Amino acid sequence: MPLLIHTGGTIGMVPGPDGLTPGTGLVEAAVAGRARINAFDPPLDSADVGFRHWNRLLDLIEAEAGPVVITHGTDTMSWTGAALSQALAGRPHPVILTGAMHPLGTGGDAEANLDLALSAPPGPGVRLAFAGRILPAGGLVKTDSHGADAFRAVPQPDMSDPWRPRRFAARRLAVLTITPGLPAEALEAMLARLDGAVLRVFGAGTIPADPDLHEVLTEAVARGLRLRAVSGCENGGLTPGAYAAGSALWAAGVTNGGTETAEAALIRLWLELLVCG
């Protein structure tokens, strides 16, 4: 019988005075007799999920010698999918994430998604069971804030290292979007408070031709801040050298995230540089 870890999310929510709010007992009742339950207490809205919760999930998953199903909110499913996929890379046991756009018992997608997760075929890796499909979870993109078919998967580079226990350290990381007219002073102020950042840049890898912006990036890397760039486009990734407007990125020492999603790039930074254990 698989272990089901219920973190929270819409699938187990109930109506409250300000909208849907995490409830208790719905998921447990829905899987009674089909899975062993370990429920977060209190259950989380996935907007509150962070690195400590990823570490807790890793502790529970690694204590199991068989399949694990995780119910999780959809808003940060892509972040947890990237975190678990990379931290568990090389581990032979399956982990299946699932959730829903509507709570159990409301005639929506929750029951079907939960059934799909519990019946997912065996095999290594972290996957998402959602809207009738099983998707690799390492490069998830949430494409719809209301529709039932809310996710697609962007193929990600493989992590070829043998599996070993990994945990996330308490570090200050963020995804920062380069926008037209972004003041260099604003970027400098944000980078000053961070240990590392993913820069979401234009197209195949370009940024504004602002010498002050370029200087901020160069000085940040020189003082040891690790920066990784990804494309603001869902497909295609970055191609250094394709445009002169991107040369300042690579000259500054910003690393190339290629086809990584912003979520996957941030997790890769975390694991490469800031992991404990």
Q: What are the φ and ψ backbone dihedral angles of 21, each rounded to 5 degrees? A: -140, 150
Same CATH fold, 169-276 and 3-164?
Answer: yes
Helix (H, G, I), strand (E, B) or coil at 129: strand
Q: Which amino acid is at 119?
A: S
1-28 b/e (C-beta count within 10 Å ≥ 16 → b): ebbbbbbbbbbbbeeeeeebebbeebbe
Q: Hey, where are the domains in the chain?
A: 3-164, 169-276
pLDDT of residue 159: 76
pLDDT of residue 275: 45
CA 219 → CA 215, 222, 253, distances in Å? 6, 5, 10
If the chain, 277 residues long, is cut into consecutive pieces of 10 residues, what is the mean pLDDT of each piece?
A: 96 93 92 96 94 97 96 98 96 96 96 98 94 98 96 89 90 96 98 97 97 98 96 94 94 97 96 61
pLDDT of residue 273: 73
pTM assigned to the model:
0.95
Give the Cα separation of 23 and 270 in Å (integer).
32
With vertex at residue 219, the alpha carbon angle to CA 213 and CA 220, rounded to the nearest 5 degrees, is: 90
Domain with residues 169-276, CATH architecture: 3-Layer(aba) Sandwich (3.40)
Q: What are the φ and ψ backbone dihedral angles of 77, each rounded to 5 degrees? A: -60, -40
Q: Are 51 and 140 in contact (CB under 8 A)?
A: no
Return the DSSP state at 12: G
pLDDT of residue 88: 96
pLDDT of residue 274: 56
With vertex at residue 179, the alpha carbon angle to CA 174 and CA 184, rounded to the nearest 5 degrees, is: 80
Domain spanning 3-164: CATH superfamily: L-asparaginase, N-terminal domain (3.40.50.1170)
Nearest CA-CA partner of 103 in 2, 27, 217, 198? 27
